[in-house]
């Protein structure tokens, strides 16, 4: 898609520090990493949000994400990884991408990044669960 920086990276028109270039997707270092080694994984086709990823591409794409989560941990000697997809909100580039961020114990990534809240009571929690379940598309 014209004007999409990630499509430009996929097409080799925009430079990037590539980690993987496979039929199921392209992975490269984030230019503004949470921690060094923070990788972005993008599908080759231009899609904006996860719900637009066709079912026939899911296994290959998330297989690549899974393999990269292992590679980031092993290759960087990290204690683990944080894997996330933003849909619309906080999505700085409107092209589906998955973050694979190396984590180490005590790295400082906590409440400021993902603030935690509690439900008022079990009824409120069940109400949210019911609303999400009712909106879940059939497989």
The average pLDDT across 99-118 equals: 76
Residue 116: beta bridge partners?
none
**What is the arrangement of strands in the sheet containing 98-103, beginning at the earlier edge strand?**
18-22, 25-29, 39-42, 98-103, 80-85
Q: Quote the pLDDT of residue 126.
A: 72
Question: Higher confidence at residue 26 or residue 135?
Answer: 26
What's the pTM?
Answer: 0.85
* Residue count of the chain: 139
The pLDDT confidence band at residue 72, using thresholds 50, 70 and 90, is very high
Structure tokens at 110: 């906590």
The pLDDT confidence band at residue 83, using thresholds 50, 70 and 90, is very high
Question: Cα–Cα distance between 116 and 99 in angstroms, integer?
Answer: 20
| Structural domains of the chain in order of their starting residue, each with its CATH number | 5-104 (3.30.428.10)
Q: Quote the pLDDT of residue 127.
A: 79
Structure tokens at 43: 């599908």
Checking if the pLDDT of 131 tops 60, the result is: yes
Question: Cα–Cα distance between 78 and 87 in angstroms, integer?
Answer: 26
CA dihedral (111, 92, 104, 119) positive or negative: positive
């Amino acid at each position: 898609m014209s004007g999409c920086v990630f499509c430009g990276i996929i097409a080799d028109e925009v430079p990037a520090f590539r980690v993987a270039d496979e039929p199921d997707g392209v992975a490269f270092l984030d230019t503004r990493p949470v921690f060094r080694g923070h990788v972005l994984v993008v599908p080759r086709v231009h899609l904006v949000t996860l719900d637009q990823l066709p079912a026939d591409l899911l296994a290959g794409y998330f297989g690549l994400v899974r393999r990269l989560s292992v590679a980031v941990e092993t290759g960087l000697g990290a204690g683990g990884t944080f894997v996330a997809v933003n849909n619309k909100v906080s999505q700085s580039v409107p092209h589906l991408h998955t973050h694979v961020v190396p984590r180490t114990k005590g790295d400082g990534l906590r409440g400021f990044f993902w603030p935690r809240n509690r439900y008022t009571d079990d009824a409120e929690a069940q109400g949210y669960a019911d609303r999400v379940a009712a909106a879940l598309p059939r497989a």
